[in-house]
Amino acid sequence: MNFSYTEEQKSVRKVVRTFVDREIIPFIKEWDEKGHFETNILKRLADLQLMGVCIPEEYGGVGMDYNTLAIICEELERGDTAFRTAVSVHTGLNSMTLLQWGTEEQKQKYLVPQAKGEKIGAFGLTEPNAGSDVAAMETTAVKDGDDYLINGSKTWISLCDVADHFLIFAKTNPGAKHKGISCFIVERTFPGVSTKAIKGKLGIRAGNTGEVFLDNVRIPAENMLGYEGEGFKIAMAALDNGRFTVAAGACGTIMASLEASIKYCEERKTFGKEIGRHQLVQQMVAKMSANLEISRLLVFKAGWLKNSGKRNTQETSLAKWISCDAAYEAANDAVQIHGAYGFSNEFPVERFLRNAKAPVIYEGTREIHTIMQGEYALGYREDKPLRKMLPAWPFEGILIKG
């Protein structure tokens, strides 16, 4: 096994870190306070070819491997969770799902402009009464001639107000529970689609999150992704990609918490010495450092499986669970190290703590992932090959850019 970064990955990390230091960190406090989502960041990420980094060149992407995507997510979350979330949703949940399940026509129409960053994609699974219990969704899609009519609503949808395309999950056979769910590509411009941002969030205030309403939205049959009744499988495959990027982003929160804590330890003195000289402070810093390495290893193992074209649900779930818990713990310890100043937005650690709570909940709660790992360990759960797998890297016939 090779644990070193490639020269290409080192170069990407440097580019993204420089971008974050120049274009996110100096402004994020103001954006967070105002609840402002800076859409220009998405345009700049597209300029840097980072919105489709792991999509093959033939579909408008750059053709780099999945662990390079992880590096990008880590560095973006070091700046703020809002912008890692944007890449997670656009690339991980939407574009990678189109790459895995889309027809050639769907890929050309929707994936190509998304990979180039010309269009933005979002993902609509969660509903007011259906989160972890996906089968409880109430959104329906009824066949009407050659079309489907979709009615319902989705909530906690990232990029709701800026996305051009949504992957919407709806019941085509309400009595069949999980097997009655289908997936549709829905354009914002379709009549009957409307959105509304959610205000008053605990964290990720610089992100755009909200509701999507679907009122008799007419969808052409060719906009169904996969087969009818295959929506649950598609959603779970999409979450393997989304959770991977969330886990990678959590490494960024740990890294940011560690960097801020080390800086403060060097500046702050108590009892006649730098606070970093106190053993209990060292214990918190050491725990952050260890958890950063552990989380990165779990993420890169999941990425290695993705690169190999292998099912990675168990490994991605473990990476998401452990790294998100570690990120919340790191942010909490960073606030503790900063003392009373950590309770103020004079320092960034209070924002890290607020932001770190959401990933412990979304894309599978801590409790869901705990149950999943217990079932894997006990032999109650076994992953079977899907009808379609995410393409293995390197992509055949694709020239990787340096």
**266, 363, 367, 382: the active-site residue:** 363
Phi, psi of 197 (to 5 degrees): -70, 150
Q: Two tokens at 369?
A: 């992932």
Q: Name every residue whose Cβ is closer than 8 Å to that of residue 11 and which is 6 or more positions away in sequence.
A: 402
Q: Answer yes or no: 363 catalytic.
A: yes
Tell how strand 165-171 and strand 121-124 pair up.
Answer: parallel
Taking the C-alpha atoms of residue 264 and residue 54, their distance in angstroms, rounded to an integer, is: 37
Residue 342 DSSP class: G
DSSP string, 57-114: GGGTS----HHHHHHHHHHHHHH-HHHHHHHIIIIIIIIHHHHHH--HHHIIIIIHHH
Q: Which helix (H) or strand (E) holds 41?
A: helix 40-47
- Provide the pairing of β-strand 140-144 with 121-124: unpaired
Beta bridge partners of 213: 153, 194
Look-up of token digits 């108590």: 270
* Three-class secondary structure of residue 264 per DSSP: helix
Tokens describing residue 43: 């345009």
Residues carrying an active site annotation: 363
